[in-house]
Each structure stands twice: as structure tokens, then as C-alpha cells.
């Protein structure tokens, strides 16, 4: 079957919840064998009770860990990286270390994933990276997040050219309730979500399934490469 995930192997880097979990479950429901990889292998292993979903350890800030993952998993069809380490805050509060961690995790890490795994991608395969709405919306407090996500958009296009015919795309989510905003506190989170939903042309914030569906599209549309798909409710437009 062309352009489906039936009998394909999909490697998803991230945590056991949030957007990564929605991608793992959707890919599995479409017939893929799924490898969930992240820093906490035992947590990932216990998160899914399905022999078609296996767990592997990887730290995207460690090249030896990425190379070892590539050796263990062998050939794969699609690689998705959702890992991130956000550097939120105003310029005055930003620390060099936080910015470096953000770039290392979301820009350099996926680039190294592409380096070590691209020789093992089966024909028709792809990489899907993760950018984010603040690459395209410039509001104070998100400089570190925005420049990291902007760099992902660039890396996606560069890799699409260098790795061709392997396809490389990115997804840019808007605000999604994954637990990533829990640091705002219950009231702060509710107020922020209401504020974003009111401004979004679609009138709501997003769900992990909204994003997983876009990842599925990126993996299976064999005519799309070098694109960042904005799945953000239209937030940057308003």
C-alpha cells in the first residue's frame, strides 16, 4: 500500500505524554510498528500496553546516545522528533545555558538524528521535526522559544535539500494543552488558554490529536518536503 503507514516503522522521540503520545497512538492505529524513544525508557515502556510499540532510550543532546539508538533500531521509515527544552522569559531573564539547552535539544539534536538515521531510512521515508507558533508570532516573553523554533524551520529546508529524496518536514503547533503550560498554575493556565482561544480565528486552543493528524499527513504525503506546517488555529494572524 502506497502512502500509508501499514507495515512501516515509525520512530517517535519525546515523552510518554503530550503530543508524542498522540503521534505514537495514531501511527500505531494506522498499522505502523512504533518505537517510542526518550530519556526515560522505563516510563515509555510502561506507557503503552501494545507489543507493536517498543521503547528505546535516547538523549538528543548526546551524539553517542543518538548513534547507539540508530544502531539498535536498524532501518526505519519515519523519524519524528518532538523533544524540546523551552527557554521562556523576557530577554532580561534569559540565561545562555537555557538558550543553549533549547537549541541543543530542538535544533542540533534533530540534526544529529538526521545524520545518524538518514542512512537507514527506507525508500519513501521522512523526518518530521517540531517548530512552534512563536517562530511566526513575535511577542515579548518568547524570544528564546521563537528563535529556537525559527531555526527548526530553517533546518527543515536545509535537510530537505541535502537528504533528498528523503523528505523532511516540520510541524508548528499553536497552543496545545499537553501539560507544557502547567507552570502557569491552574488559574494562569485557564486564563491564558481563554485569552488564546478568544484571539484564534478557530476560537479554541489545539489538542494533541490536531497535531498528530498533521504529523500523519507529513509522513504519508509523498509530494511534500521542506515545509513547516502551521497547525496553530491561525494564532499568528491576529
Ligand X SMILES: NC(=O)c1ccc[n+]([C@@H]2O[C@H](COP(=O)([O-])OP(=O)(O)OC[C@H]3O[C@@H](n4cnc5c(N)ncnc54)[C@H](OP(=O)(O)O)[C@@H]3O)[C@@H](O)[C@H]2O)c1
Q: What is the rounded distance in angstroms from the CA atom of residue 176 to the CA atom of residue 12?
A: 18
Q: Which of 3, 29, 40, 198 binds ligand X (CB under 6 A)?
A: 40
Q: Which of 10, 34, 176, 229 binds ligand X (CB under 6 A)?
A: 176
Name the residue nearer to ligand X (CB basis): 6 or 72: 72
User: From the CB of residue 138, how many other CB atoms can be counted at a distance below 10 Å?
Assistant: 11
Alpha-carbon distance values, 40 to 34, 72, 76 (Å): 16, 16, 21
Question: Using CB under 6 A, which residues numbered 49 to 78 contact ligand X?
Answer: 58-61
Cβ closer to ligand X: 9 or 228?
228
Q: Write down the H helix ranges in 141-235.
A: 143-162, 185-199, 208-220
Nearer residue to ligand X within complex by CB, 15 or 33: 15
Instruction: Give yes or no for residue 18 binding ligand X (CB under 6 A).
Output: yes
Q: Quick one: which of 39, 88, 157, 189 contacts ligand X (CB under 6 A)?
A: 39
Q: What does each C-alpha distance from 32 to 26, 29, 71, 81 come to in angstroms? A: 9, 7, 20, 17
Which has the closest alpha carbon to 165: 124, 112, 224, 220? 124
Kindly indicate which of the ranges 8-16, 67-75, 161-169, 186-194 contains the residues binding ligand X, using the contact rule CB under 6 A. 8-16
Cell for 178?
Answer: 499537553
- CA pair distance 70, 110, nearest whole angstrom: 13
Query: What phi, psi does 137 have (nearest 5°)?
Result: -135, 120
For residues 24 and 53, give the distance between their C-alpha atoms in angstroms, rounded to a whole number: 8
Q: Output 32 or 170, the one with its CB closest to ligand X.
A: 170
Q: Which residues, numbered 92-151, are part of the site for ligand X (CB under 6 A)? A: 105, 130, 132-133
Min dist. Cβ of residue 147 to ligand X (A): 13
Contacts to ligand X by CB under 6 A: 13-15, 18-20, 38-40, 58-61, 82-85, 105, 130, 132-133, 173, 175-176, 178, 180
Amino acid at each position: 500500500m502506497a502512502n500509508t503507514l501499514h507495515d512501516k516503522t515509525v520512530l517517535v522521540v519525546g515523552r510518554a505524554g503530550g503530543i508524542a503520545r498522540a503521534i505514537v497512538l495514531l501511527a500505531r492505529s494506522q498499522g505502523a510498528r512504533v518505537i517510542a524513544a526518550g530519556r526515560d525508557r522505563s516510563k515509555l515502556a510502561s506507557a503503552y500496553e501494545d507489543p507493536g510499540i517498543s521503547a528505546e532510550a535516547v538523549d538528543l543532546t548526546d551524539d553517542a546516545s543518538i548513534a547507539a539508538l540508530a544502531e539498535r533500531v536498524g532501518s526505519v521509515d519515519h523519524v519524528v522528533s518532538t523533544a524540546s527544552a523551552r527557554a521562556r522569559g523576557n530577554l532580561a531573564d534569559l540565561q545562555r545555558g537555557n538558550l543553549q539547552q533549547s537549541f541543543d535539544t530542538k535544533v542540533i539534536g534533530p540534526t544529529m538524528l538526521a545524520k545518524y538515521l538518514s542512512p537507514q531510512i527506507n525508500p519513501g521515508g521522512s523526518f518530521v521535526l517540531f517548530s512552534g507558533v512563536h517562530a511566526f508570532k513575535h511577542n515579548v516573553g518568547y524570544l528564546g522559544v521563537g528563535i529556537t523554533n525559527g531555526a527548526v524551520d530553517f533546518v527543515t529546508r536545509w535537510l530537505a535539500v541535502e537528504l533528498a529524496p528523503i523528505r523532511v518536514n516540520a510541524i508548528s503547533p499553536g497552543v496545545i494543552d499537553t501539560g507544557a503550560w502547567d507552570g502557569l498554575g491552574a488559574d494562569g493556565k485557564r486564563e491564558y488558554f481563554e485569552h488564546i482561544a478568544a484571539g484564534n480565528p478557530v476560537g479554541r486552543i489545539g489538542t494533541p490529536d490536531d497535531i498528530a493528524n498533521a504529523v500523519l499527513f507529513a509522513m504519508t504525503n509523498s509530494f511534500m518536503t521542506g515545509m513547516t506546517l502551521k497547525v496553530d488555529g491561525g494564532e499568528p494572524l491576529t
